[in-house]
Amino acid sequence: DAEEEAAAEVGGTLSGYPDDGTTPENATFEALLKAGTLRLKLVERPGRAPDQAIEPGPKGRKSDVFDHKELFKQCTPRFGFNGEAKEWRRTAPEGWTGQPPAAA
């Protein structure tokens, strides 16, 4: 499966950050990504490292992002709310090019 291979390339997770098991919130967040409830998109920032931004996944709704906001604050590295873009964001790990498209 191409999606699993892509995930295995960067830290073994869809987020690109390795999950060493010390932060249960990271595993919960990763499960939401794998289920298609949420997804991460790459946000280019000229002159700075790119960000990861959370958006509803193919099986999710806009309310799913709102419903899990406390989880985002507890992930490592944590997400912060970008008021200008109205998105939860954090710096993307080096080499992360975006979450692969969900399998149909």
7-62: per-residue pLDDT in tens?
444 468 999 998 888 999 999 999 999 999 999 999 999 999 999 999 999 999 99
pLDDT for position 99: 83
Examine the pLDDT at 104 and tell me if it is beyond 70: no
pLDDT for position 101: 64
The dihedral over CA atoms of 3, 6, 12, 13, expressed in degrees to the nearest 10, equals -60
pLDDT for position 6: 44
The 10s digit of each residue's pLDDT in 82-93 is: 999 999 999 999
Phi-psi region of 86 (alpha: psi -120 to 50; beta: other; left: phi over 0): left
Is residue 25 within 8 Å of 71, Cβ to Cβ? Answer: yes
pLDDT for position 19: 87
The CA distance from 96 to 52, in Å, is 9
Examine the pLDDT at 4 and tell me if it is beyond 60: no
Is residue 16 within 8 Å of 26, Cβ to Cβ? Answer: no
